[in-house]
Amino acid sequence: MLSILVWAPILGALLISCLPQAIGAQRARQIALWIAGIVLLWTAYLASQFDLSTASLQFQETLPWIESLELSYQMGVDGLSMPLVIISSLLSWLAIFSSDRQINRPRLYYALLLVLSGAVAGAFLAQNLLLFFLFYEVELIPLYLMIAIWGGALRGYAAMKFLIYTAVSGALILAAFFGLALLSSSLTFDYDVLQNQTLPLATQVILLTTLLIGFGIKIPIVPLHTWLPDAHVQAPTPVSVLLAGVLLKLGTYGMLRFGLGLFPEAWKVAAPVIAAFAVISVLYGSFAAIAQTDMKKIVAYSSVGHMGYILLAAAAATPLSLVGAIAQMVSHGLISALLFLLVGVVYAKTGTRDINVLRGLLSPERGLPLIGSLMIVGAMASAGIPGMMGFIAEFIVYRSSFEVFPVQTLLCMVGTGLTAVYFLVLINKAFFGRLPDNLANLPQVRWRDRIPSVIVTVLIIFLGIQPSWIMRWSETTSIALVRNRLERNVTLTVAVPMPLELSLQPDLTLLPTLPDLQG
């Protein structure tokens, strides 16, 4: 069942590639939209069949592949990956929909988008470390090509930088996986087997550090972030949407799945350091965003900052903070996708993203009033205004992390305030005031330009009002991740201990009371 999410897009990409050029150029977009739509519907069906009461992997598929390498085709989904798969399917469809209809080399473009979509889904679903690595690496190829071919003026530089950084990331992750498999003497890459490894703490710390640097590049954590603003600025809008909305989440997902999941003892040791880097990322990202004049760079640095919240929640590693981390992944995925979509429309219509050039875009007749209004909604959501998804995620992150890392949490909360600063600067400069005469004849904004942003905005508001629709996927899994640490007889001084009997009947309503259990 899960393989459809991976192979349907890849087969679709093959189909588009094999079409004759004359037909393919016209039909590539429709085919890609249909396939992404089918994948989205299939994801919705899987979500409807997902058992919320169990933390174990569901819809599992296992096929032996290269046994000599211990590489098996193991797929499964749990509460950690399900929300991300949903977001990935949704944003893939929206990315295809929001792509320029007149794009050059459409067959290659849409084929690469589908490959990217399949590879990301594969990475989220893989339950074999090597299989994860394969998908993690495969995803680099279409992304590199899309930035290099359809990017902005400095696309070559940005694409190469992205490739080098993420290739190093992949190498470090592979090294950590090999190290784990070899040192644990199990000689397997199966996740469920490796979960029970009993390596010495020092070895675990070394492996976890390697893994964290690898995933830290992908997230990205400051100071490993420098590839991201360049990649975002040069990438076409749909790629930025996928990059911020989904691909960065591979880093945080990998960190939780493989870092916290495989090295729980070492995690306890590394947690304060991770929390410190979270603070650095949040504050650096926010201050850097304030200093930018390119709208895309502002959103890109905003991403660096907001990914820091996930890092903070992951470091705290309490059941509630893990729910918060996953919620923040979804929230950031939607909000950053919205902001990049909107910046894309602004750029397509005005030809610039410079907030010192843009002005008065909220002008009701000749500006971009709906796009501007949605930008304000996006900024509010990003700044954690109640009633939207951003508030729910950030509130849970802060509420849960404060018990464990109070100082770091307070410093991260400053980042939320700074979010309001840089987005208000952006909105004030680009959208308020009188539309200058050189922008008074902008091309018409059609509904097809607005639809992707409207869909995402509706979701952001809906999930802000009804957050349990996104929280419920991850409650059980989050508790199980923490329980795994307890069962391994770890004395938790960092994370919040949780009685096993509570974890057997997971209920989010219990979670806010968890800190009380400490007393």
* Interaction site with another protein (CB under 8 A): 360, 362-366, 432-435, 440-445
Give the other-Cβ count within 10 Å of 364's Cβ: 9
Q: How far is the CB of 359 from another protein (least distance, A)?
A: 10
Q: How far is the CB of 420 from another protein (least distance, A)?
A: 21
Is residue 341 within 8 Å of residue 298, measured between CB atoms? no
Closer to another protein by CB, 20 or 364: give it: 364
Give the strand pairing for 71-77 and 58-66.
antiparallel
Closer to another protein by CB, 273 or 440: give it: 440
Q: How far is the CB of 432 from another protein (least distance, A)?
A: 8
Closer to another protein by CB, 168 or 445: give it: 445
Is residue 116 within 8 Å of residue 61, measured between CB atoms? no
Q: How far is the CB of 338 from another protein (least distance, A)?
A: 21
Q: Dihedral sign for Cα 234, 239, 240, 246, please.
A: negative
Closer to another protein by CB, 445 or 461: give it: 445
Residues 183-201: b if buried by 16+ CB within 10 A, e if exposed? ebeeebbbbebbeebebee
Closer to another protein by CB, 440 or 458: give it: 440
- From CA 501, how far away is CA 331, in angstroms rounded? 31
Helices (H), 385-519: 389-401, 406-431, 447-465, 468-471, 475-487, 500-504, 514-518
Residue 388 three-state SS = coil
Is residue 259 within 8 Å of residue 208, measured between CB atoms? yes
358 residue type, one letter: L
335 residue type, one letter: I
Closer to another protein by CB, 188 or 350: give it: 350
Closer to another protein by CB, 345 or 362: give it: 362
Closer to another protein by CB, 365 or 501: give it: 365
Give the other-Cβ count within 10 Å of 359's Cβ: 20
Closer to another protein by CB, 101 or 446: give it: 446
Q: How far is the CB of 342 from another protein (least distance, A)?
A: 18
HEC readout, 277-291: HHHHHHHHHHHHHHH
70 residue type, one letter: E
Using CA atoms in the order 507, 512, 515, 519, what is the torsion angle rounded to 10 degrees?
A: -90
Q: How far is the CB of 387 from another protein (least distance, A)?
A: 23
Closer to another protein by CB, 43 or 350: give it: 350
Give the other-Cβ count within 10 Å of 451's Cβ: 14
Q: How far is the CB of 340 from another protein (least distance, A)?
A: 24
> At residue 182, what are phi and psi to the nearest 5 degrees?
-75, -45
Q: Which of 313, 326, 308 is nearest to 271 (CA)?
A: 313
- From CA 61, how far away is CA 318, in angstroms rounded? 30
- From CA 244, how far away is CA 329, in angstroms rounded? 10
Closer to another protein by CB, 332 or 349: give it: 349
Q: How far is the CB of 23 from another protein (least distance, A)?
A: 32
Q: How far is the CB of 136 from another protein (least distance, A)?
A: 45
Q: How far is the CB of 374 from another protein (least distance, A)?
A: 15
Q: Which residues are within 8 A (CB) of 411 and not within 5 positions of it... i.e. 6 or more apart?
A: 279, 282, 283
CA angle at residue 499 from 496 to 502, to 5 degrees?
110
Q: How far is the CB of 440 from another protein (least distance, A)?
A: 6
